[in-house]
Amino acid sequence: MKKTILLTALVLNGLTLFAQSNDEKNIKLFYKKALTEAKCYSWLEYLSNDIGARLSGSKGAAEAVEYTKRQLENLGLDKVYLQEVMVPHWVRGEKETAFILDGKVKTTVPICALGGSVATPKTGLTAEIIEVQGIKELNELGADKVKGKIVFYNRPMNPENIETFTSYGACVDQRYAGAKEAAKLGALGTIVRSMNLRLDDFPHTGAQSYGDLPKEQYIPTAAISTNGAELLSKTLKRNPALKFYFKQSCETLPDVLSHNVIGELTGTVSPENIMVVGGHLDSWDLADGSHDDGAGVVQSMEAVRILKNLNYKPKNTIRVVLFMNEENGGKGGAKYEEVSKQKNENHIFALESDSGGFSPRGFSIEADDVNLKKIQGYKDLFEPYLVHSFTIGHAGSDINHLTSKAIVKAGLKPDSQRYFDYHHAANDKFDAINKRELELGAATMTTLLYLVDQNGIELPKAN
């Protein structure tokens, strides 16, 4: 009896070791394929250099839909199709101009309109300017000190945080809601310090919202470069009575029909269970959005290419989704969830890449304790590839919409130190992409898809 128990234990242990070594073998192959045969870099080069900026409603966005659909079709996936979605269509118009008017001295500073902003008067807007460190300080000042002025939000990203997204999250409210709050107090316009840790001359755009304000209360709002913000703040301290001038001609046009791009590898065991991998196809209009989020788009495509190329037969259906309109509305993610609910689809896992194409460090995970520990149990398999961070955190804006009863969400977590040098700025171009780092990210995503597909997720226990 003891011999039988011992033999059984050895056999089971052997099977466990074999499964582990098989995973290691497959993962090594994923990285080899990504680093020697990947198409993600060439796909991104076309998206960036041949198509360019892809703001929702633009010609570039429409071309990107058709291009990525063709590339997915060329991979020989089981299904490739488009999903209709109506998206906002905001246009920047002529290049913005701005001056610090310090007595007789006029100094040009770099600005750009924030997404969704209204235009200034055709001749521009000139007014005294008041500096605040955020919305809280603005409200403490009150209407008496704000009315008739331009509000200058100058709270910088905190350099003390190692995780730069923490710093971004702590001050982005002044960009998103700053104009709305200033308008309530009678301000004429707002200027917002760019969300950037580096001092440079690139203003960074991004979404802003007037909330439920009536349209007649909308005021123009723009971002100023970090160097420009430093200069403006310094000059204001010397001359609080100086004036600021800026001119922009942006406008919001009627919504436009666009599409999410979707491709599938059908599951062979549980095809009704869907695993999503994706990024967002749209970008801001100042550049070609190579990091935000061209990188995430092509990495997601690369993950399914690697699996298809290796003739991998997934247990669950793996669906690559290239979402439209993450930047200024989130309509693509919302539409995908709406259609999924109508079809009563069951999503068990979603993986998004929307943090740049830098070296992968791990994943930000949305899961209960049981599934978090399960994914953290894969750490040893990732460590040879310098991927080590598996922590609770926001997984992604597009997959955030998914509400299946039992779903684990993960966001690729690249090194974040340089990301905000490029985020939403005119320098987010293809030459900012490192080919090897991009490919490593794709291999890391492929690995997590594979491991979750092989091992599934833990379902909540019935009460």
Instruction: Report yes or no: 134 and 171 within 8 Å, Cβ to Cβ.
Output: yes
Structure token digits, residue 130: 């008041």
Q: Alpha helices, DSSP H only, in 239-320? A: 295-309
Q: How far apart are CA 81 and CA 411, in angstroms?
A: 24
**CB distance 214 to 118 below 8 Å:** no
Helices 59-74 & 295-309 angle (0-180, nearest 10): 10
Catalytic (active site) residue 326: yes
* SS3 (DSSP) at 150: strand
Q: What are phi and psi of 111, to 5 degrees?
A: -135, 165
Contact indicator for 318, 275 with CB cutoff of 8 Å: yes
Concatenating the DSSP letter of every residue in 22-43 gives HHHHHHHHHHHHHHHH--HHHH
Q: Do 352 and 417 contact (CB within 8 A), yes or no?
A: no
- How far CA 320 is from CA of 29, 331, 385, 402, in Å, comes to 21, 17, 24, 14
Tokens representing 47 are 């998206």
Dihedral over alpha carbons 443, 447, 450, 451 (to 10 degrees): 180
Distances (CA, A) of 66 to 40, 258, 430: 17, 11, 20
The CA distance from 277 to 72, in Å, is 13
**H or E segment and range at residue 319:** strand 316-323
Catalytic site residue from 181, 264, 302, 326 = 326
Nearest-angstrom CA–CA distance, 351 and 444: 11
Spatial separation of the C-alpha atoms in residues 205 and 286, rounded to whole Å: 8
Q: Report d(CA 226, CA 132) in Å as an integer.
A: 15
Token output for 223:
């971002």
Radius of gyration of the chain (CA): 24
Other beta carbons within 10 angstroms of residue 11's beta carbon come to: 10
Give the pair of three-digit tokens for residue 253.
């046009």
List helix spans (H) across 251-389: 295-309, 331-342, 369-376, 379-382
Residues labelled catalytic = 326
